Amino acid sequence: MTQNIRPLPQFKYHPKPLETGAFEQDKTVECDCCEQQTSVYYSGPFYCVDEVEHLCPLCIADGSAAEKFAGSFQDDASIEGVEFEYDEEDEFAGIKNTYPDEMLKELVERTPGYHGWQQEFWLAHCGDFCAFIGYVGWNEVVNKNWPPS
């Protein structure tokens, strides 16, 4: 395993991205955004038109990856409190967002996503998005062994 020479940025809504597997560390790759070598690279969902293979944590954290590729790390339709609006002809008319725009941008443009068994869904509570801290399986639910110590 290679060493990452740059510190991992903090992600408010995904505080442990190495532990959750959002980033891989098995080889050194070139970030498609900044074109710098990185030994820690993103392996989660990224919704954009371009074929993007590798993104470094810094380009996600500062929003440059989302900006450069006009992409997002979360599906807008799968965020609690965000709804699509349609007009009388059933044409898309925009997004109804109950959160401040900057908060939504933090989640969608600067937070690594996660892989879901079916469709990912980002939860919210008390006026803020929840942090993704890991996956929960049946054993954790039955044994009430969550969160891990």
Query: DSSP assignment, residue 77?
Result: G
Contact 34, 42 (CB under 8 A): no
Direct distance between the N- and C-terminal alpha carbons of the chain, in angstroms, rounded to an integer? 26
> Rounded distance, CA 68 to CA 59, Å?
10
Q: What is the average pLDDT across 11-28?
A: 96
**With 70 as the cut, is the pLDDT of residue 5 above it?**
no
CB 56 within 8 A of CB 35: no
Q: What global pTM score does this model have?
A: 0.84
Task: Count the Cβ atoms, other than its own, within 10 Å of residue 135.
Answer: 13
Secondary structure of residue 36 in the 3-state scheme: coil
- Cα radius of gyration rounded to whole Å, the chain: 17
Condensed to tens digits (0 to 9), the pLDDT of residues 63-77 reads: 999 999 999 999 888
Q: Which two tokens stand for residue 111?
A: 């937070």
Q: Judge whether 2 and 13 are in contact, CB under 8 Å.
A: no
How far is the C-alpha of 42 from the C-alpha of 25, rounded, in Å?
9
Q: State residue 2's pLDDT score.
A: 44
Q: Tens of pLDDT along 81-137?
A: 888 788 889 888 877 778 888 999 999 999 999 988 778 899 999 999 999 999 888
- Locate all alpha helices (DSSP H) within the chain, ordered by sequence: 17-20, 57-61, 64-69, 101-110, 138-143
